[in-house]
Amino acid sequence: MKQLLFHENESFWFETLRSLGHSAYGGADFGEVLYTAGRITSGDYDSWYDEWSATAERLWEVAVEAQRGGHAVTARDTYLRASNYYRTAEFFLHGDPGDPRIRTAYDKSIDAYHRFVDLSGPTIERVEVPYENTTLPGYFYPSPLPGRQPLIVMHNGFDGTAEELRFLGALAAQERGYHVLCFDGPGQPGTRHSQGLLFRPDWENVVGPVIDYALGRPEVDPDKISLYGASLGGELCVRAAAFEPRLKAVIANDGVYDLGAFAMKFVGGDRAEAERALTAESAPETDAAIAAVMRSNPSARWAFEHGQFVMGGATPREFAARMLDYHLRDGIAERVTCAVLVCEAADDLFFDGQPEQVHNALTTSDKTLLRFTEEEGADAHCHFGAQRYAFGKMLDWLDDRTPVNR
């Protein structure tokens, strides 16, 4: 998709497109996004925070005033957009985990979203999923249809939230008659900010407890449970399906075969050489190479800084070494037996070519590679430019495998 703003900074443009795309399901308004983006200095993370938080604060006041005046629908919808803008505001701040603006904006985002939930009646429910010695925060979107209905379990990826999933498939699925259960797993915002949990590669040990919880809900059809993962979640969900037999279908939006391949771009050599360099006790040349790319490439800078925040590692190289554990190699993809839809963006900023690798590695009898194009407005990572179109295609595929009970 043509870069319309921030021409010299693809990362700022992509996050702006992300917000524009959320307009399709109520997460933004076009003019609000353009006005905010127009006031931001490209590449200036403080400017990004200041302008998005200012827009969020303004809308928060609008929502409060509307609620005070008894205008519940206006308040509900405005809290929802404010929540999404607060989320956007703190996006680039994770290079300094002690920055107080991170928690300030995140907590306001959650507060706004919970106010949205409170004003939404029975269409959405806050939940806490038992997990090891704690709980995972999430939301249950009940089907509008009576009786037991199929369930889609949804999680985000490297940087997205459970709240954002409303715009990334949850509402689209609920409209079609599905129950939807969204959650934040370890390393994702709901657990990273409040509990300090970091990502773990064995995602089946996260999804398993979520399915256990779901099966305790009488409205869920236990024979029609599917799993959806966005962005890095496109690797995590397929990994989970390799070890979780209760799943009937999986949607990887988009497919990710090997997160470590991202790190290897900056190291050089074959995989074995890259792994040795990344995991060595000392590797000054590799450290210097990563530092250089972080200075010259805004997307790489954000990825390494945020990666240390959510996966750990005292240095960017230590984080890069942890990325090596997130993959579908070594027979993992071949273990999947349920139906799998692998989505691909024609102009993916992060994982170009990897969806096809996922599809080729799968040996299940029911696998589909669905490529989204510029002509469809859906060629960006996770198809942010055409969310209603993209989720229509994904959910039609799922409906042929776990149809709602009418």
Q: Where do the H-state alpha helices sit in 25-122?
A: 30-38, 45-68, 72-89, 100-118
Which residue of the set 231, 282, 296, 365 is catalytic? 231
Give the integer Cα–Cα distance in Å for 270 and 264.
8
- How big, in percent rounded to 5, are the helix, strand and coil portions of the chain? 50, 15, 35
Q: Which amino acid is at 341?
A: L
Q: Is 231 a catalytic residue?
A: yes
Q: Is 369 helix (H, G, I), strand (E, B) or coil?
A: strand
Order the strands of the 249-253 sheet from edge to edge.
125-131, 134-141, 179-183, 149-155, 220-230, 249-253, 339-345, 367-372
Whether residue 320 contacts residue 283, with contact meaning beta carbons closer than 8 Å, is answered with no
Whether residue 58 contacts residue 108, with contact meaning beta carbons closer than 8 Å, is answered with no
Q: Which of 357, 318, 365 is nearest to 339 (CA)?
A: 365
Residues annotated catalytic, as ranges: 231
